[in-house]
Amino acid sequence: MSSALAMPAQMRAVAITRFGQPGDAACHHIVTPQPAPGEILVRVAAVGVNPADWKALMGWLPFVGDTMPLVTGFDGAGTVVALGAGVDGVKLGDRVGFMSSIAMGRGGSFAEFALCLANHAVRLPDTISFAEAATVPVAGISAREALVSQGDLAAGETVFINGGAGGTGLWGVQIARAAGARIAATAGPANQSLLTAFGVECAIDYRSEDIAARLAQWAPGGVDVVLDTVGQGSLPDPTALLRKGGRYLAIETMLPEEALPDAARMAEYGVAALRVSASWDRLHLHLSALYQAMAEGRMRALPFTQLPAARAGEALERVRAGHVSGKLVLSLADESDWAAPSTPTKELTA
């Protein structure tokens, strides 16, 4: 390593000792990792909790490896404390938001220290807190990759977001609004006002309303783009929602038995169907753009509930169960974050 601040030989991490129930994830003491060439080490302050985190602990993501204890976590925000050889553009002490090196089998971000590629970290504007920054990476990058890089969303187009109140959905709403598109989105009854507050023109309660009928009223002839953040057959016939020549953008769920739409019907109807995940190559571009938009007031951090690291298992199970509004964020910076609370921790919503 080229340079580093003083660090302990061991660190605390939220990890499992065997694949299975995400709720079994608990604090373990493991060796503090060292950055390889091109990597940096971050002292983690906050992490966003994503569906990919519990899927890693189920053993569904082979790229994370099988070395136990296994630390999950893709998103993170914190302070750079070590630089691998050849790193430039990032320096010790920088505040960064990042995506961890878990996809390289190098461990996740649910730990006191986490590795990431230097170009997968972005310096944070002073106006963005670590917790706010942690709401962005996987969800924001996936939404921007889908709508901007793959979907070519343009001003004046109509976009329907299935699952608008979740992390990827709410970033999708903000990205679509910034592009000048008109937006329809689904959410449960408790989150209808949230959709409206973020700029959704047609908010649909998927539990009580006919989605296809509402969209037909709002956009006769079909919408230009469907961004499906839910999958799992939640839209029985997405082709029927689109105009001819429209685009169906599905966020990759990584579920072993994902229910897929009828590809032949989409092709016959002239619909471009794309499956999208957080882009590795455009990660820095997307993350930089989102943090810049936040700093300039054009976008805002998602609503989040903050929990201590000691409640990571609970957070993972809540995300696994679905219907989380905005994001769950774990704090890992203080000693108290790792101590099992004697009373329920107050949940803070931004």
Q: Does the structure show a pLDDT above 70 at 1? A: no
Do 16 and 60 share a structural domain?
yes
CATH of the domain at 221: 3.40.50.720
The predicted model gives 150-158 an average pLDDT of: 96
Q: Are residues 122 and 167 in the same domain?
A: no
Quick check: is 283 in a domain?
no
Gap between the Cα atoms of 201 and 203, Å rounded: 6
Number of domains the chain is built from:
2
pLDDT at 302: 94
Nearest to 111 by CA among 44, 64, 65: 44
Mean pLDDT of 107-111: 97
Query: Does the pLDDT of residue 14 top 90, yes or no?
Result: yes
Rounded Cα–Cα distance for residues 330 and 13 (Å): 12
Q: For residue 255, what are the domain limits?
A: 139-276
Tell which phi-psi region holds residue 236, choosing left (phi > 0), alpha (psi between -120 and 50) or beta: alpha
Region for residue 72 given its phi and psi (left: phi exceeds 0; alpha: psi -120 to 50; beta: otherwise): beta
Q: Does residue 57 contact residue 20 with C-beta atoms inside 8 Å?
A: yes
With respect to residue 285, please indicate whether it lies within any of the assigned structural domains. Answer: no
pLDDT at 346 over 50: no
In this prediction, residue 71 carries a pLDDT of 95
pTM of the complete model = 0.92
Spatial distance between the Cα atoms of 102 and 63, rounded to a whole number of angstroms: 8
Quote the pLDDT of residue 276: 85
Instruction: Check whether residue 31 and residue 123 sit in a common domain.
Output: yes
Q: Are residues 109 and 163 in the same domain?
A: no
Taking only the tens place, the pLDDT of each residue in 286-343 is 999 999 999 999 999 999 999 999 999 999 999 999 878 899 999 999 999 998 754 4
Asked if 25 and 96 sit in the same domain, the reply is yes
Going from the C-alpha of 224 to that of each of 152, 212, 244, 286, the distances in angstroms are 11, 14, 8, 23
Round to whole Å and give the CA distance between 303 and 166.
10
pLDDT-based confidence at residue 2 (cuts at 50, 70, 90): low
> 3-class SS at 49?
coil
Together in a domain, 67 and 148 = no
Q: What is the mean pLDDT of residues 158-183?
A: 97
